[in-house]
Structure formats: structure tokens, C-alpha cells
Chains A and B, each alone.
Chain A
């Protein structure tokens, strides 16, 4: 009775996700086996040609570049986000914690696009950053439409997704455990390295996944801050669908991207962010 009620409650979600998520991926896979017609339609004659093409060095290198972007974004977010989360969870007086955490999330209630646009405003040649630099007598920087600009935008967009799960796991740390370690003679550094770090590793992993995976498919930051100059896999997929009219090739690229994500999850040996990390996204 209980089990069947559980199933009935799960049914709407299962139906919705099957139709809106599983089915489209199956369609995508079928289309990826076809080829484009002269005008850009799909010819459903199956072959693996699009996958062979996706493996050409040219495109393999784009996948590589996206991996590097995702990795760099994750590492920077981890390096900045960990101390930030530590400060929030363990240094700030309890009564300020909620407000300061809300302050981290607040910018994410403004449109991501608007914030990317604001960065364009800041980074452009005659923008705010260069005005500030020249005011203190420093030479201007050319960051807009460069790879550095893309990385900056990506870090900006993903940082809170690193901070929140880390905050959750750091806040849960039992102070008595840390005190016990100290009482047993561990130096503060040793406490951090041998107690705090291992205990917050799941939070760091969850945060890293939440940053790494979307960065792998990054689209807006390269498009707006990169000046559409350097191709990342997300842009390549979008271009195949929306401009080059090679839907089968775009579908194959999407599918490979999906496999990359799956491989990342397997490598992380924790197939999914559990309820704890998901709760951290609120």
C-alpha cells in the first residue's frame, strides 16, 4: 500500500521527465545518426559520420578547451569559495550569518544576462575598470573579448554554487570534534588538514560538480565576454542548430557533451549531489 502510494506520487514527475528529458535525448541520438540536406533539413539515413567528425582534432580540441575552462573555473571557485564559506560558517557571529549568506545569493536574483552585460560595461576599453586604472595612473587592460574575460565571467556566474554547499558542510562541523582534536594536541593547521578538510570534502565535491558541469556547457560568457571569437562546446552546439543548419552534427556534439558530463559524474564516484548539496542551493 505504502509502496504503491509512493509510486503514484512519483508518477507525475516520472511522466514529465520521461517526456521532457528522456525522450528528447533519444530523439537527439536518432538525429545525430542522420545527415543534413543541402538546405539544412535532416535526412534520416543512419551512419556514424557525425561522431567521426566530432572526433576530428579540430573539434576534439574544442572539447579540450571547454574542459580546461571548466577545470579552471572550478579550481578558482574552490580556492576563493572555501575560505569565504569558512569565514561565513565559522567566523561570523551567528546572528549575522543569515544576512551575509543572503548577500552572497542576492546578485543571483538579477538576470545572469544583465550581470554579464554589466561586466561588458566594466571591461570594455572605455569602461569603468580602465577609467579607474587610468585615474590611479596605471595602464589600461584589454579584458573584454579575451579568454581571461570569459574565465572571469564564468567564475562570477558559478561562485555561489561553490560557496553554498561548502557553507552547509562547514556549518555542520561539530565544534566539539575540533576541540577534541585540539585537546589531543593537534596544531590548528593539523586540525584543519586532518579534521576539517576531510569532513568538508563532500561539500567541496558537491560544489565542484555544481560548478564544473555547467561550465563544461558554458554558452553566454563566451558569447558575450568572449566576442564569439573562441569557440567552446556550448557555442559550437548552438551554432550548429541556429546558424550552420547542421542539426545532425549539432546533435552528435550534444550527445558527446552529455557523455562527458556522465563521465565526470562517474569519475567523481558520487553519481549525484545528494539531498545535502541540493539543499544548499536554496
Chain B
């Protein structure tokens, strides 16, 4: 009977891996159907420079962490052993970090690095990983050391060996399997860590898990399956080699799987570009789904630079990172209200208009707005609307926010995971301004959002259109560009700006006050202002361009698409989200309460 259970357990453990491997060869994009075998996702994964860069970063971090933590851990294990009696206190101290939740580790390290004035980057990631792996390394080596006979080393010293000599010739060889096991464990912990890394990774230190997280968040791509299959193959080969060695196989027999496994892991280093082009870097922090990798590549080639691209889903997440003060971004893409907040804190750098010859391409309708009256700090990039996309076959025609509160749609509603947008929907439904600072009105809006929560399936502001496409929800609040792309894939989906009105967003490119590469930042902004480039960005991302010269270059089908360029009467109902100043903490707190309930 236990055998049946064991088979089920193995099935449970391997089901996700089998699915990954199988679907890495599926030519269809979604999991619902098998559309034939393809190697295209492997080709795409192998051609994805960002993916390879993140794998390189992960391997570098894991190797550095393994070397440092294993050395420190081995020394500590030997130290514990030398102390023999009375080591319970030391054991406790050395093991305690294992039991601290990762979120707490990450959050507290951010505070440490900020207090120490360390810029977030590869160094901080390695420090953090060393911090959480020392304990594991120590415990594993100590477990092996416990099986050793201490008389051996004593005998060596009695026979005249120096303590160092006794260590290298007697204790170390005997400890070797424990040290190897510790190193493997530390390597595995480091290369797989997402939670701690996500707190402490700065610009250019995107590790593989951080990259995969943003891939998962910004849309389902079977390229992830291909990468995972390759990694799985590499680790399986290495484990087979280790296992063969342990069973006493000859080195040559273990060499084949070991070399094959290492070759897969080394591939991203072989594919790395010549160092000359990596001398100059530009750090861009922009919304997910706002610029295509191909567009970035064009800029990289023209200016012979490397662009580090980090993505965010909400203004608040971007503000939190930028305000922390120890990240070095060159270009940001805040919405108008976030620009107001950044300007108020003195965090933006005035633009040098002479370095932006294509500024004249911007549609004057988007210049001189309240958030930056003379456009001293910002250049408009995209504008768009927030609305509802829905499955016509499931919910009929929708024209009001009330549909998102309709009990018939229980469990089929998606809301943006965004403070101001979620409150915006509730406030508009109440017929209020979405910039209200009246605590009584906000309390009512919060009650509405709480009443809505049982109907909500997910809060998501990154790949909300995928959740609608996959059929998990029927109605989704979201931004028009991504919905425009979804509608092209599935004509059953429609987009509407509710009759009560909605929010309008105007997102602009800005340069932080402390940007390390302001000249390149200007060059990048000017690049996006060129008519052809702006048209390409708008055509690939489907958001509405603020570039008048680019609009003329867009295909007619896009210009006539009401989801992308809404009719004037719908636009008349929209309202720009403004900075609410001192009411910001109230909004943040009320939203936290909604999400917590």
C-alpha cells in the first residue's frame, strides 16, 4: 500500500516537471492544446540576451557565495569541533538564521545596506546569499565532522605534524564529502533564491529567478519552459555524475555527464558579447509591457552600450525602489502623479532640451500639463485609459463599473493590483473624483472594494490580459494597450471605458537626479522620440503614442482601433490621476486593509 502512495508522491513531485518539458516542445502558446512539436522556444531562449545575462549573474553569485560560505562554514564547523563540550550556545547561534523567514531576511538586509550606504548590486546580492547560507554550510560540515574520530588529528600532531599540516593531510580529506555536500547545498540555495534577492538586487544584478519572475508576471511564454528544461537537464547530469563518483565509478565514466552538464551551464558565458560593448551601460526602469526587447537592441547597437532593463507594475513599486535611494537608474517612466511626487522630493534631474532634438515630435496636447507645467523634467511617452475588458459570450455587453460588482460574476473578476486604480474604479462608480482626499468618501470607497472582494479572483497589474485570455476570469479591470493585444488574439473579448468615467494616464520618461549616466539617458529619451522608433514602440505595445510624428506612421488599423484611440465622448469622461499629497498614506493604508481582509 505504501508503494501505491510512493508512486503517487513521485507523480506529484514530477508532474510539473513533465508538463514543463513536454510544453517546451509545444508549438502552441497556451497549455490548452497540443499544436505539434517545435524547437522554436529553445531558439528563442538561446537568443534571449537578457535571459543569458541573468543566468550569468546567477552563476557568478552562486559560485562566489559557494566559495565564501563553504569556507566560512567549514572553519566554523572545525571550530565547533575543537570546542567539544559546551557548544550548545554556538550551535544555536549558528543555526538560528535558517529559521528566519526569507521575507524578514530580505527586508532587514535592505535596511542594513541602506544604513551602510551600499549601492544595491551584485555585491549586495552575494552578501545576502552568504548571510543565509553560512548556517547551512556549517551544519552540513559539522554533521560530517561528528562522524570523525578526533583521535586521528591528535595522532597526527603527536607524530609531529603542525596543526595546519594535520588539517590539510588528515582532517580535510576526511571532511571532503561533507564539504562537497555543503558546497552543493549552498550553490543550490543561492542559484534558486528569489525572495531575498528580490529585495537586495539592484541595477544590473538581475539573477535568473528574478528574471523568470518578471517573465512569469509579464506574460506566459514557453521560452521559460525551454530554459527550465535545459537547467533541469544540466542539474540531472551533474547529479548523475556525483552519484556515479560516490558509487565508486571511474572518473572517466562520470566525466561524460559532468562535462555535458557543465557545458549547458557554461553556454551563456560562451555566448557573451565582447567586453568592448559592455563598457557603457544605461539603466532603464520602466513599466512591464512598455518597450519591446527588439527596440532596446536597436538602441544598444546604435550607441554601442548595454541596457539594463528592469520592470515594474505599479507607480508605487517604482517609487518605493527609487525613494530607497540606493539604486542607480538613469531613466524612469512614471505616471503624471508619480512625477509630482518625485519632483516634490527633489528626485528628478532637469532635462537638457538641447540634447533632445526630436522633442518637437511630441503632440503639444500632452505638453504643459499640471504635473510638469513647462516639461522641465518629463517627456511624454504613452497615454492610455483604464477600463474593463470582458468576454462577450459570458457576460453580454458591459458599459458600467457595476459589472465588476455584479454577484453573478463571482470568482470571475480581476482587478488591477494598484492602489489608485482600484480606488479609482470604486470612486468613479460612486460618481466621485478619483483624486478625492476626503476621508469620509475614501472610507465609503474602501467599503465598496471590501464588498467586491468575494467576487474578485485575482489582483494583477502585470499580465491581466493573459488571465482573461486563459478563461480564468471573464471581466478584468486593466489598461487599454494590453487589452488591445488580447482582442486581436480572441475576438470574443471587448474593451469599454465605463459610462461613469475612468482614469486616464499619461506616462513620461524622466531622469533621476542621481542618474549615473545622464548623457546616455538623454540619448535614450531622444531615441524613443524619433518618429519611426516611437511608431515601432506603439505598434508592438499597442498603447497610445504621445508622438504626433509617429501617429502618422501607424497602420490605419491601429489608428482606427477604438481600444487604442478611444472616441472623443469616452475620453471626455476620463480624469487624470493626480498626486494626492498628504492623503497618500491614507490611500496606501486603506488599500493595505482591503488586500488584508
Binding site for B on A (CB under 8 A): 2-3, 5-14, 16-17, 19-21, 23-25, 27-28, 31, 36, 38-41, 58-59, 61-62, 80, 83-84, 86-88, 91, 98-99, 102-104, 106-115, 117-122, 124-128, 131, 142, 144-145, 156, 159-160, 209, 213-214, 216-217, 219-220, 224, 227-229, 231, 234, 236-247, 250-251, 254, 257-258, 261, 265, 271-276, 278-279, 281-282
Report whether A109 and B101 are in contact in the complex, using a CB–CB cutoff of 8 Å: no
Report whether A246 and B585 are in contact in the complex, using a CB–CB cutoff of 8 Å: yes
CB contact under 8 A between A6 and B6, given known A109-B188, A109-B239, A278-B143: no
Of the candidate stretches B192-200, B276-284, B545-553, the one touching chain A is B192-200
- Can you list 26 A-B pairs, Cβ within 8 angstroms, ordered by A? A3-B83, A16-B130, A16-B131, A40-B584, A87-B6, A91-B3, A98-B243, A108-B188, A112-B192, A113-B209, A122-B19, A124-B470, A125-B472, A131-B32, A144-B472, A217-B102, A217-B104, A227-B458, A229-B456, A237-B107, A243-B316, A243-B320, A244-B588, A257-B103, A279-B143, A282-B185
Q: When each residue 197-232 of chain B gets 1 if its CB lies under 8 Å from chain A and 0 otherwise, what string results?
A: 001000000001100110010001000100010011
CB contact under 8 A between A106 and B597, given known A10-B75, A27-B108, A227-B460: no
Q: When each residue 66-90 of chain B gets 1 if its CB lies under 8 Å from chain A and 0 otherwise, what string results?
A: 0000011101101111110000001
Q: Is B290 an interface residue (CB 8 A)?
A: no
CB contact under 8 A between A159 and B139, given known A109-B188, A121-B23, A244-B591: no
Q: Is B16 an interface residue (CB 8 A)?
A: yes
A38, A220, A242, A251: which contacts B320 (Cβ < 8 A)? A242
By a CB distance below 8 angstroms, the chain B residues around A17 are 93-94, 97, 131, 134-135
By a CB distance below 8 angstroms, the chain A residues around B323 are 39-41, 245
User: Considering the complex of A and B, which 6 residue pairs feature the smallest CB-CB distances, nearest first?
Assistant: A217-B101, A227-B458, A9-B79, A20-B131, A118-B16, A24-B108
Q: Is B272 an interface residue (CB 8 A)?
A: no
Report whether A271 and B82 are in contact in the complex, using a CB–CB cutoff of 8 Å: no
B407 smallest CB distance to A (angstroms)? 17
Tell me the complex Cα distance, A107–B188, Å. Answer: 12
B311 smallest CB distance to A (angstroms)? 13
Among residues of B, the one whose C-beta sits closest to the C-beta of A243 is: B316
Report whether B112 and A6 are in contact in the complex, using a CB–CB cutoff of 8 Å: no
By a CB distance below 8 angstroms, the chain A residues around B146 are 275
Query: Apart from A242-B317, A282-B181, what 10 extra A-B contacts exist at CB < 8 Å?
Result: A6-B79, A12-B76, A17-B134, A20-B112, A28-B111, A103-B10, A104-B13, A126-B470, A156-B16, A237-B104
Binding site for A on B (CB under 8 A): 2-3, 5-6, 9-10, 12-17, 19-20, 23, 30-32, 71-73, 75-76, 78-83, 90-105, 107-112, 115, 127-128, 130-131, 134-136, 138-140, 142-144, 146, 163, 181, 184-185, 188, 191-192, 194-195, 199, 208-209, 212-213, 216, 220, 224, 228, 231-232, 235-236, 239, 243, 246-247, 314, 316-317, 319-321, 323, 341, 344-345, 411, 417, 419, 453, 456-460, 470-472, 581-582, 584-585, 588-589, 591-593, 595-597
Report whether B79 and A245 are in contact in the complex, using a CB–CB cutoff of 8 Å: no
By a CB distance below 8 angstroms, the chain A residues around B341 are 39
Report whether A128 and B131 are in contact in the complex, using a CB–CB cutoff of 8 Å: no
CB contact under 8 A between A126 and B32, given known A9-B75, A9-B82, A228-B458: yes
